[in-house]
Amino acid sequence: MHLNLKPRNHLHKKRKKMRTQRLGATISLVLFLILLPALSVTGMELLERGSWHATMDWISSNQSLYLLNVGLTFCLLAFIYAVVGSLAISGAISTLLLGLMALISYMKVTMIGEPFFPWDILLNKESMDIASLVTGKAAMVRIGAIAASIIFVLALRWVIPRTTIPIIARIGLGLFSLYALYAFGIKTPLAGKILDHAGVSEIIWNQQENYANNGTTLAFTLNVKNSIVKKPDTYSNESIAAVAASLEASTQKEPAVKKASVDMLQGKKPNVIFIMSEAFWDPTLLTNVTFSEDPVPTIHRLQKESSSGYLLSPQFGGGTSNVEFEVLTGNSMSFLPGGSIPYQQYVSKPVPSLASYFADQGYKSMGIHSYEGWFWDRNTVYKQLGFESFKSSEHFVNPETKGYFISDAEVSRNIIDEVDKTEDPMFIYTVTMQNHGPYDDPRYGENQFKAEGNLTPQAKTILETYAQGAHDADQSLQMLIDHFQNSDEPTMIVFYGDHLPMLGLDYQVYKEAGFISTSNANDWSLEEVKKMHSIPLVTWSNFDMPKQDIPLLSDSFLGAHVLDMLHMEKPANFALNAELAAKVPGLLSNLVVDQDQTLHAKAPESVQPLLDDYRNVQYDLLFGKQYLASYIDHDYLTKASQPSYNAEFDNPDTKLRATGGSSPPEATPASVQ
């Protein structure tokens, strides 16, 4: 019997063709989901870096970082695809978002030297208004490139074979992608291991280099964890009202002398000069190490003669602006996300500070810093903190440099000059730069101070270079003392460092000297944590002040303590600081020191209510409803920035005079803190 096989063969061919089409569509889907992220990352870096050579050089030199950026971009595309269901449309949306991220970042770097941060969306919505910045050929070329890319991806809709994946698979892909983005955004333990294995170094103190080294997508994602500050569970109008009532009751009980004005000094208010010396620390505190001579004799003399002690810094080796933030505002980094930078994230409106308080008392409040004013956003932040002016390195005239930066002696000369030419009493907050790391290069030539101990040659060189810089800081303080000792202007100087120096990688010098038992900070004892965050504090005045010993005090409590020393009435937030400091003088996220100098890993229950008050007030002032201002110190707590901020340095004549100066040599960006 003859069988007709044609229908069966036709059906077989049809099924084979369908399988081939499905395979082709699947391959197209996979290639699209892989190639588009790879091309997107390349395009983003090209938009940021401005040249094909720089882009390819970064990719070839950082292949693991490039793949991480591609992986994160894949997760974004896959999540959008899981929601939308169309490859071309999902790709266009992804291209638009990533293109805008790169474009905004490029414009921000061009305008103010900063890339695009997650908190630009969450906390600084005004920074998203870039319409006024879309000018110039370079910006228009980038906009055109992004538009062309989107059109091209959309056009692929008519080229790529259409395919669909089961809804369960789409949901699974979407959930996986969302979790991966979340894991890297908050840096879960697994994500942390992947980042460490890939050699990711998060340079939080220099975000422009952070983005340049790690790539835009990865750096942006790593910053997500520092974007959001949760509202405390105990924060409410009622809780703040209770704090205000308590502070007013305490004020009524203070002795009259505590409320006296500083006008006691023959009708003159004293100049108050804070000097935060870059990475200043006492190297003679190192165990098992001796020096050929004392590198910091002024500090050691003042420790015997004047009020002195130690400050507990929230930082180690970097993050200078976070110490400024604590001292100037009285707020604590302990209540903010780890790795966050308040100057760049949270100070987007006027914030009450020592600068605005002294301005209310008839002082001229000035910031002085011997580095460029854009760094850490100081130009903007100092205005929000209530300073009248900010003298950064751009306004130093013919400055002396030593090593890599403007010398500490030059900073002292500028302080003297500003005080001598100003009729009003001055509050000056000074930040030096000379002794900034790294220290492995003997940048001062032959070092005067020779270290002896069980140190490797490299560690010895690092320590001796650091000691030379610490000595120069010490002598710059002596220069100020010599000047104001003979001045008829009452003057108080408060001198301290911002953090311990980074003396080699993995705490090399500290480990070799036996100052710590291990280079793994997670294994340090509480005593070691305390040592690695304790900075010498000394004060001096040319008028009588009782000598006080300060065993340990957090940076955030220093302002309140100085106001007490001057018998100045403290505003609400600093009054609360003083109350807390009496019970918990030392406060870090991983160390609490009580009034008996007992160390705790977390706060004792007995002080938790007062800590809650402190946290609530900080949240209220930075992020909340400003309830406190409706109950107490309204004018101070709601004080606007000074309308004439930096007028003296923005004046064209002043700028012309300053052009004779030379900017400090550029440091290696990765080393700048």
- pLDDT tens, residue by residue, 326-381: 999 999 999 987 668 899 889 989 999 999 999 999 999 999 999 999 888 899 99
Residue 51 lies in a domain: yes
Least confident of 307-311, 432-436, 656-660: 656-660
Would you say the C-alpha torsion 446, 449, 452, 454 has a positive or negative sign? negative
Residue 2 lies in a domain: no
Task: Select the more confidently predicted residue: 145 or 538.
Answer: 538
Query: Alpha-carbon distance 575 to 581, whole Å?
Result: 10
Would you say the C-alpha torsion 260, 261, 265, 266 has a positive or negative sign? negative
Same domain, yes or no: 404 and 494: yes
**CB 273, CB 491: distance < 8 Å:** yes
CATH code, domain carrying 385: 3.40.720.10
In this predicted structure, the answer to whether residue 286 has a pLDDT above a threshold of 60 is yes
pLDDT of residue 260: 40
- pLDDT tens, residue by residue, 228-250: 788 999 999 999 999 999 999 88
pLDDT of residue 519: 81
Domain holding 524, by residue range, is 237-666
In this predicted structure, the answer to whether residue 657 has a pLDDT above a threshold of 70 is no
Same domain, yes or no: 305 and 434: yes
Contacts of residues 372-379 at CB distance under 8 Å and 24 or more positions apart, as own/partner, are 372/663, 374/112, 374/113, 375/672, 376/320, 376/321, 376/324, 376/341, 376/343, 376/344, 377/114, 377/321, 377/343, 377/344, 377/347, 378/321, 378/343, 379/646
Same domain, yes or no: 220 and 300: no
- What distance lies between CA 612 and its chain's CA centroid? 24
Residue 561 lies in a domain: yes
Same domain, yes or no: 315 and 197: no
Query: Alpha-carbon distance 90 to 82, whole Å?
Result: 9
Query: Alpha-carbon distance 143 to 99, whole Å?
Result: 8
Structure-token pair, residue 90:
């999902």
- Domain boundary among the residues 203, 226, 249 is at 226
pTM of the predicted model as reported, rounded to 2 decimal places: 0.75
Same domain, yes or no: 272 and 152: no
Same domain, yes or no: 495 and 623: yes
Same domain, yes or no: 379 and 245: yes
In this predicted structure, the answer to whether residue 129 has a pLDDT above a threshold of 60 is no
Same domain, yes or no: 257 and 214: no
Residue 640 lies in a domain: yes
Least confident of 126-140, 278-292, 293-307: 126-140
Residue 671 lies in a domain: no
The domain tally of the chain equals 2
Same domain, yes or no: 213 and 242: no
Residue 539 lies in a domain: yes
pLDDT of residue 163: 66
Position 471, amino acid: H
Confidence of residue 560 (pLDDT cuts 50, 70, 90): very high
pLDDT of residue 623: 93
Same domain, yes or no: 215 and 299: no
Same domain, yes or no: 64 and 122: yes
554 membership: H or E segment, kind and range = strand 549-554
- Domain boundary among the residues 159, 194, 226 is at 226
pLDDT of residue 131: 47
- Domain boundary among the residues 166, 193, 226 is at 226
